[in-house]
Amino acid sequence: MIPKNPKRIVIDASVSYSASDLKPDADLVVRLCCETLETIQKYNYQLVFTEEIIYEWNKHSTKFSRRWLRNMLERKRVVKISISEDKSISQKVNLVVTDIGVRKLILKDCHLVDAALAADRIVLSRDEQVKYHLCRYAEVILEIQQICWMNPADPDEKVVAWIKSGAKHSDCRKLVPHDAGRKPRRRKPKDR
C-alpha cells in the first residue's frame, strides 16, 4: 500500500555507494541498499538534497544509484533545500563536543541532520560511528532526538518493511541517548 503522504527522506552517499547493479551473487549490503532505494521510488517517497549531499552523491555514486537518481528526478521526487548557517546544528556541535576527532566526525555529517530537520526528520546512512556519537550528544543537542537515523544495510533494522508501512517515527528509531551504550560496528574500509 502506497502511503498517502510520502515522506521526504535524506539519503547519505554511503547508501548510494553501496547500491550497485544487482547480480545473483550480490552480497547482503548491496541487496539491502538496492532494495531500499527501489522501495523509496516505488512508494513515491521524496529524496532530499542539499548542495553538500549532491556533491557527495556525485562523488560516490554507482551506475545503479545514478540511474535510480535519474528516475527520481524525472518523476519530480527530488526536493532541493538550502540550510542557512544559523539553522545548522554545527554551531552547537562546535560548542558541546570537546573531543576534536569526534567533533570532526560529527561535523562531516551535520548537513544530513540539518537537511532531515528541514524535511521529515529521516536519515538513511550506513555510518554507525556518526550515529553512535550523535546519540551520545543527543541529551545536550536536543534537535538530534527528532531524527530517525536508520542503516539500510543492517538487516535487523528492517528498513524496507518500515518504508513500505509508511516510515512512521518511533522512539526505537530515533537518535536518543539510550543508543549511546551500543558501540558502533566498524564497517570494512573501502577504497573510494
- Nearby residues of 19 by Cβ (< 8 Å), 6 or more positions away: 30, 33, 34, 36, 37, 62, 64, 65, 68
The whole-number pLDDT of residue 84 equals 81
Residue 78 contacts residue 49 (beta carbons within 8 Å): yes
| Residue 2 placed within a domain | no
Strand partners, 9: 47
Mean pLDDT over each residue of the chain, to the nearest integer: 88
Average pLDDT estimate for 49-69: 94
pLDDT tier, 189 (very low <50, low <70, confident <90, very high otherwise): very low
Residue 19 covered by a domain: yes
Query: CATH number, domain at 173?
Result: 3.40.50.1010
Q: Count the Cβ atoms, other than its own, within 10 Å of residue 175.
A: 27
Give me the pLDDT at residue 182, please. Answer: 54
Query: Has residue 1 been placed in a domain?
Result: no
Confirm whether 191 is domain-assigned: no
Residue 187 belongs to some domain of the structure:
no
Q: Provide the pLDDT for residue 168.
A: 86
pLDDT tens, residue by residue, 1-31: 566 678 999 999 999 999 987 665 678 999 9
In a domain, 158, yes or no: yes
Instruction: Compute the distance between CA of residue 138 and CA of residue 151 in angstroms, rounded to an integer.
Output: 18
Domain count, the chain: 1
> What mean pLDDT do residues 43-51 have?
96
Range of the domain at 60: 8-181
3-state SS, the chain, equals CCCCCCCEEEECHHHHHHCCCCCCCCCHHHHHHHHHHHHHHHCCCEEEECHHHHHHHHHHCCHHHHHHHHHHHHCCCEEECCCCHHHCCHHHHHHHCCCHHHHHHHHHCHHHHHHHHHCCCEEECCCHHHHHHHHHHCCCCHHHHHCEEECCCCHHHCHHHHHHCCCCCCHHHECCHHHHHCCCCCCCCCCC
Q: Quote the pLDDT of residue 190.
A: 45
pLDDT score, position 187? 44
Residue 191 has pLDDT above 60, yes or no: no
The arithmetic mean of pLDDT across residues 181-192, rounded, is 46
Confidence tier at 78 by pLDDT (50, 70, 90): very high
Does residue 189 fall inside a structural domain? no
Asked if the structure places residue 149 within a domain, the reply is yes
pLDDT value for 188: 43
Section 120-132 average pLDDT: 95
